[in-house]
A and B are shown apart, each in its own frame.
Chain A
Amino acid sequence: MHQQQDGRLALLAAGLALSGAVAYVLAASRLRRRGDRWSPLRDLSFTAGAAGLVAAALVAPPGGPFTAHMAQHLATGMAAPLLLVLGRPVTLALRSLPAGGHRALLAVLRSRPIGVLTRVPVAALLDVGGLWLLYRGPLFAAAHERPWLAALVQVHVFAAGLLFTSVVCALDPLPRRPGTVARSAALVGAGAAHAVLAKLLYAAPPPGTGFGAPDLAAAAELMYYGGDLVEIALAAVVGLRWYAASGRRLARERRRGARAEPPASASYGQ
């Protein structure tokens, strides 16, 4: 019975991811027909993220049970959110929704809960704190027996990963624009907590479970190095955004300098 319910929830998740991708591509093509520029790389990134979610929901990864679980978590909590965020879905929605929908989305973005959730420490704590609760508390063992709780955990892992990635990348218009330093600190802090948790898992399974040592070791190393890959990608996004902003600042300074600087002969005339 669990299996059946699991299967139905997985199909639902895959269906949601798929319809998200279809909606994205439709909205992007509508934007292009209107004459807006919207890079096809964004479509590619978003659909790849959605495909990753579909694969994580439907395909059982190879390896021991805990390693397979970890691969799914990496896909839903880190890799897919990054690919989705790179597609700038909120920007696309704001540009392509009709006036009513646009206003509604803006109201949601400006609402108090979103304002609290998109604070850097809150997003980081929800993401990594949730992982610590899952793997160092009794939650993992409890979710093992209750499919609805397991589904809830998966939803949280995805939602918290998406929130954290959006806040660190700051590509979409968020209610507050946290600075580069705060986002960098959150990234390094979360990366460290992730690495420490991976090493602890290497030594001891989540309480109440009895995974084999080789399975545990493989899962921990997958978590550690997989997390590294996504962290490097996130650091590259933060760095390149800073580089672009610094270039714009430089261009502005030069324009201002060119305007303010009087011609060489002017000083003699005074």
Chain B
Amino acid sequence: MATPAASQRPPQPPPQPSRGRPLRARTAWSGALIGVGIASFVDETVFHQLLHWHHFYDRSTPGVALVSDGLFHAFGWFAVVIGLVLVADLRHRAALVPRALVGGILAGTGAFQLYDGTVQHKLMGLHQIRYHVDLVPYDLTWNVLAVVFIGAGAGLLLGAARSPNSASGATS
């Protein structure tokens, strides 16, 4: 009795694993993690290490800003690694939504940059973007760019939420 059932199976393709259910929200969150990581990486390498605009620690920073900065610094490295692992897992499940990923990355980058530029630099008084110059154009560029990133990311995320079948894994 068992054998006929087994012999019926071959004509049917094995349960297709590469057509996963698109996991939009998870894709967007992994993108956001990568975005926060990218923003904190760019901040560290470009502005601290290459340009030397930011100070490592300008000695006037209050404790709360130092803690906030340290937390985001540690979280940034962690976020980029975990975000990439999540993307790998979504691809493995063929549940990645490319548009949601890009949207998440842009929104995450923008959100962190805006937080850095407003709360950390201005409200908490962490190191400034640059020293011995008029700060207004720097602050404006920094924060306007952040808002643009968030807007573009939000647009892509909305688009991904509207289009019904946008999951794609290893195959397009």
Contacts and interface: CB of A to CB of B under 8 A. Distances in A.
A188 B77 CA distance: 9
A188 B56 contact: no
Interface stretch (A21-29, A104-112, A149-157, A257-265): A257-265
A263 B77 contact: no
Interface string A237-255: 0111011001100100010
B73 A195 contact: yes
A263 B70 contact: no
A195 B89 contact: no
A202 B75 contact: no
B89 to A, nearest CB: 5
B81 A192 contact: no
Please tell me the size bucket of the interface on A: 35 or more
Nearest to B16: A254
A187 B74 CA distance: 8
A192 B8 contact: no
B85 interface: yes
A221 to B, nearest CB: 6
A250 B82 contact: no
Contacts of A187: 74, 78
A247 B89 contact: yes
Contacts of B77: 191, 228, 231-232, 235
A159 B166 CA distance: 50
Contacts of B9: 263
B81 A254 contact: no
Contact of A195 (B5, B74, B81, B82): B74
Contacts of B75: 188, 191-192
| A interface secondary structure, majority | helix
A191 B56 contact: no
A46 to B, nearest CB: 23
B137 interface: no
A62 B66 CA distance: 29
B8 A265 contact: yes
B114 to A, nearest CB: 20
Interface string B81-104: 110110011001100000000000
B67 interface: yes
Given A188-B75, A250-B93, A196 B82 contact: no
Contact of B78 (A220, A235, A264): A235
Interface of B: 5, 8-9, 12, 14-15, 17, 56-57, 59, 61, 66-67, 69-71, 73-75, 77-78, 81-82, 84-85, 88-89, 92-93
Interface of A: 184, 187-196, 199-200, 202-203, 217, 220-221, 224, 228, 231-232, 235-236, 238-240, 242-243, 246-247, 250, 254, 257-258, 261, 263-265
Given A188-B78, A190-B74, 4 more contacts: A187-B74, A191-B73, A239-B82, A243-B85
8 contacts: A195-B70, A195-B73, A199-B57, A217-B56, A240-B85, A246-B92, A257-B15, A263-B12
